[in-house]
Structure 1
């Protein structure tokens, strides 16, 4: 009996001690100026995984928190974040968020690999928020970057959109989603349709070489797409848009978040009718071909998170994408089909004092197929023929260690394996890359910060390489001054290493002896920051050496011995009938170098009464030097681009009106073929967008939209086959409807 009583007392004591070890934090978040509740604000305890979002009344509740001392942080878009020290349970807390008309308090990570407020990051970063995208009325990644980021440009053809950034082509631009590389391309065009715009929190743009942190391909810059993980118990969203020429987009998402578990599900469907810029070709003959094909595409993404403790968070995610063109039989033998899937798992462990460990494993897969419309060779209508299959595997272990207020270290190990299977190019290969990277952030003085870092890379064929970086930032009142140097690195692509392909009269061959391309990037930045106005100017220079390009030689110009050796090898691979027509031999070599000099300028101003004005200008003098020592404009580069964004927002009780006018202007896009100038002309596009937000009760929002794209009806309607300036069909009208429920 005594033993039972003692056991009961001990168990009761444990229960009491456990309850005493738990605290509860609750209260409201309000607008500091108006006193109105701030809905959807993020309230979290720093250095833990615990957090929540405020409801429609601005209320928050954090319960079952382990007793201790914490820093509670409340933040929301268009407000300045507020922190408050807490120890023990607190109820009826009142947190006042000051309005911020220019959002510079949002946290960014791409420039340094660590978390910094935008206005305090030592490496200049440009950010496009979800609000910016929504106000501009765009639903796809290409349109968002075209209208909101002047340093990026696109030229499109039947094989996809060709991205340029500060004068350099898309193979030098690294695109990330939550820090993980987006792979899979067609003719070196990354398939941008894979990016689901419905769940984007922000897009961070790092210009210049970022290889010290991100490895290969980050020579022109890094675009990191950060997705959102809502903090509400339940969030369901439907976003629908109709536009002329059969353009239709439907997005649906359902997110569930509890104390320890989160599920984030999204689906997006997009389709459009094709259109022609001109029904005649350059010879004046009718053509059924078009650079803008009809298509339909689907994206499904699923992510699960689990926070077993306040220090450890786990996630697993997967995604599937498909797209199929719908081209006229009169002009084409086949449609293009694209399929991809990706998988990922990871963990983050908080060590305290802003230190943590990250471990991520990612796999991305992409396949391109021909789906035949007519009988062709051994294929019947409806048959599929796999043209290209790519696999990408990445394992990354990163640690961030804050030693004191003066020093923070980043250390990491990365392993990458890339595989390519392309039967028509006789390729079924894979290569690996191993890397170690280190970075040190140093607060030299109160207003002086420095960053130094280096990455060691071992590539299976290109050997050992180093990519260094160094940045310095000095704050003086409202001014920030930055100076940066970084080294870029690009490993040879599997196509450049191993292609062996005969098309028409040209034999293309890779070379396993290729060296990695390297760059040296330097920039100077000056920025003025205040609550109502910000302006920045960046001058930069980017020098790239050992650029890989194809050297084409006529067989007739070779010696008899060289020519016969090439013909014999090609005959063994493709047969004598195919090689009889062969005239040109093209081999990838480290031939060229490039030099890009430029200036980027950006400004944003709050004018009062709900009016904001912003914009940017980019100048890029991009020149390339070939093996003969001749300098010329880099193909597809643009000298001058600019964007202008004007916005007005006003609220009447439960209704809010947002008017947005955005424009893009650019000079001609350089392009030559066989010495003939085929440059695309300059142009300007202006869009007008309206959104009408109705707050229908505590948890439901209805947001219809209406807009006009290409107000002045610009269309490049020159004959088919030219280098088009833009593929817009002219002025179009759209309507949209967003429905959002959150609890």
Structure 2
């Protein structure tokens, strides 16, 4: 009997084991580009699951331990058209190869920012401007501001003492929401977003929404949204190092390490940047007179950023992530100029989960915390502080909790429901009444995406916000896309809402004899945005023209107020206070063009006309020009093991208006060559060399005035990137 039981058991487990092996399913293949070359790092995943991988150095991929069933396979690679294929997997090995075609101007790429759900750029109902991975890498930009001005005429950056003030179509950066992988950045230096935290070497692509986007992104999104999607390798092991050297001892290094080990993926990046800075003029303005100074227009700096993300794919349907970052920047000033420099720190952490209910339905929830600190850092003994000491000026904190549900109601109808809780805090002794201030808002939104007759798409939604200090508000939005033949016609109407910031309400400080004051009696700002655009795409040519108008009510800005007794004795020459100045408007036209001219050449560029003004005073908005333009000529050449890209770009714009003197218009031309060497085992090498500002333009206005650009003239740079993938 015992032998019989043993024999039966052996037969049972043998049969079970054989059955299990018979059920083992694998999927493999090779991904090629349109010239037949293998694509390294292409993303391959099964829709509706958390199962995916990336191609290796030879363009090969493999997915194992699958179940025999029908799947939708997605294949994507930045700069190429997305491929979606319905496949049936049977027991054993399954093989599927695919060829990806290059996407003209990124129109075949998938974007998510406009609706919060994926769409091919060409078919996205909400107008979205995409800066592709190829365009970003071809420019070889030194920083984020240089990158955006080289690629998009709608953007401008007004140089300031502690950084650059960003504008979109004439509206300033406090009307712009900046996201990194869909999560808000927070904190500012001197009123402008600290964009040093964004390293071009880490950027995969940038998605840009223009105009009121409060429906999905809440307060601040009156001028638009910039969503920066960072690079993350899906190969088993990926290690990268990039080193860039330029004039004025400008030095950058960026390092990334990615591991994809079954259910767990990690991404780590560390970057450091430094520069000695430079002067544009030896003189500065002092009450109408010019005096010699050691102050630099571009201050010397040293900064680092560390980011870490871990993703755990618990099941085919459920995944979690945790992430965090640390950033610190020192801006140095000459000891002859001031007894201190500036120090900035930023710390973030967050966690989230995503559960796939079925093919395209999912629930997503996450929490994000951002703390931004601003200090004086003393370069000598000064006012009771010793050299190296720091004194805190400001501590800004953001807590953001989000919940979103997306349901594919039918093949032509998708519904999004969401909740968004936002809490802001600010701590500052001597600059905020009672040393601290806070505000919070709770919002709920609904959005419906409907397709009619395969050529008409409508996205409509409504957001309700309840603010602690300013009550309730509604911000509806509707976008329509009609696609007859090779044309796309897009129209958008939306309302925007922006509560006053804690700084606008409660913050006060003194700078160069001017006292800036908050005002707790401010009202929220609202906007009405309309746009209409026409886009043509055929045979390597894409061309779009978009007209827009953005009316802002109760715009908040500084106004000069009467001096008080004792001001002159205390060195105060002017008092400025925040007020609602009634109405402002930004209207204009954006033109974008991209043409694949053949023989490896691509011609592109854009033009932006901006009419931005304060309707109450009948004056222009400060820091805004009327005409902006970009020109771009690219050449690509490839053969097995080597790829060449040459980029010639130009940025042109006219004078920018300020009430106390305009900033000079300019034209700056750059030349960059990128050389990539692949077939070197598991390594890839990329060498980039370039000339910035070929014709040596310099805005040598005295320090303290307004600069059009901070370029120091003609400079050279060289960059080496080494990738290891396994």
Q: Does 1:35 align with 2:13?
A: no
Deviation at 1:696, TM superposition (A): 3.7
Q: Note closer, same or farther for the CA distance 1:25–1:586 as it changes in structure 2 (3 Å cut).
A: same
Question: Within 5 A, what are the aligned runs for 1:402-551?
Answer: 402-426=408-432, 427-499=435-507, 509-551=517-559
Q: Does 1:298 align with 2:304?
A: yes
Aligned-partner Cα distance in 1 for 2:549–2:231: 34
Q: Which moved more, 1:10-19 or 1:635-644?
A: 10-19
Deviations 1:492-535 (A, max 9, x none): 10012223557787665534443211000000010011241101
Deviation at 1:645, TM superposition (A): 0.8
- Cα pair 1:27 1:60 within 8 Å, conserved: yes
Aligned-partner Cα distance in 2 for 1:128–1:111: 14
Number of the residue aligned with 1:644 = 631
Q: Which moved more, 1:378-387 or 1:406-415?
A: 378-387
Q: Note closer, same or farther for the CA distance 1:229–1:667 as it changes in structure 2 (3 Å cut).
A: same
Q: Note closer, same or farther for the CA distance 1:503–1:22 as it changes in structure 2 (3 Å cut).
A: same
Q: Note closer, same or farther for the CA distance 1:577–1:193 as it changes in structure 2 (3 Å cut).
A: closer
Aligned-partner Cα distance in 1 for 2:406–2:248: 50
Deviation at 1:16, TM superposition (A): 5.2
Deviation at 1:695, TM superposition (A): 1.8
- Cα pair 1:521 1:541 within 8 Å, conserved: yes
- Cα pair 1:50 1:259 within 8 Å, conserved: no
- Cα pair 1:661 1:689 within 8 Å, conserved: yes
Number of the residue aligned with 2:345 = 339
Number of the residue aligned with 2:580 = 590
Aligned-partner Cα distance in 1 for 2:668–2:188: 28
Aligned-partner Cα distance in 1 for 2:715–2:68: 58
Deviation at 1:733, TM superposition (A): 0.7
Number of the residue aligned with 1:58 = 59
Aligned-partner Cα distance in 2 for 1:637–1:34: 44
Number of the residue aligned with 1:620 = 610
Report the 3-state secondary structure (helix = DSSP H, G, I; strand = E; otherwise coil) of the residue aligned with 2:324: strand
Aligned-partner Cα distance in 2 for 1:408–1:115: 11
What is the alpha-carbon root mean square deviation over aligned residues? Answer: 2.2
Question: Within 5 A, what are the aligned runs for 1:652-731?
Answer: 652-673=639-660, 678-731=661-714
Q: Note closer, same or farther for the CA distance 1:197–1:514 as it changes in structure 2 (3 Å cut).
A: same
Q: Which moved more, 1:370-379 or 1:688-697?
A: 370-379
Stretches of structure 1 that go unaligned for 5 or more consecutive residues are 557-566, 568-575
TM-score relative to the length of structure 2: 0.95
Deviation at 1:444, TM superposition (A): 2.0
Deviations 1:426-482 (A, max 9, x none): 341111110001100011221101011111011111111111100111011110001
Aligned-partner Cα distance in 1 for 2:684–2:574: 62
Report the 3-state secondary structure (helix = DSSP H, G, I; strand = E; otherwise coil) of the residue aligned with 1:127: strand
Report the 3-state secondary structure (helix = DSSP H, G, I; strand = E; otherwise coil) of the residue aligned with 1:538: strand
- Cα pair 1:549 1:592 within 8 Å, conserved: no
Question: Within 5 A, what are the aligned runs for 1:216-255?
Answer: 216-255=219-258
Deviation at 1:85, TM superposition (A): 1.8
Q: Which moved more, 1:493-502 or 1:662-671?
A: 493-502
Report the 3-state secondary structure (helix = DSSP H, G, I; strand = E; otherwise coil) of the residue aligned with 1:521: strand
Aligned-partner Cα distance in 2 for 1:225–1:16: 49
Aligned-partner Cα distance in 2 for 1:398–1:603: 35
Number of the residue aligned with 1:317 = 323
Report the 3-state secondary structure (helix = DSSP H, G, I; strand = E; otherwise coil) of the residue aligned with 1:708: strand
Report the 3-state secondary structure (helix = DSSP H, G, I; strand = E; otherwise coil) of the residue aligned with 1:370: strand
Deviations 1:69-100 (A, max 9, x none): 10112222343332222222343322233344
Q: Does 1:367 align with 2:350?
A: no
Number of the residue aligned with 1:573 = none
Q: Which moved more, 1:135-144 or 1:612-621?
A: 135-144
Count of residues in correspondence between the two structures? 717
Deviation at 1:386, TM superposition (A): 0.4
Number of the residue aligned with 2:125 = 122
Number of the residue aligned with 1:609 = 599
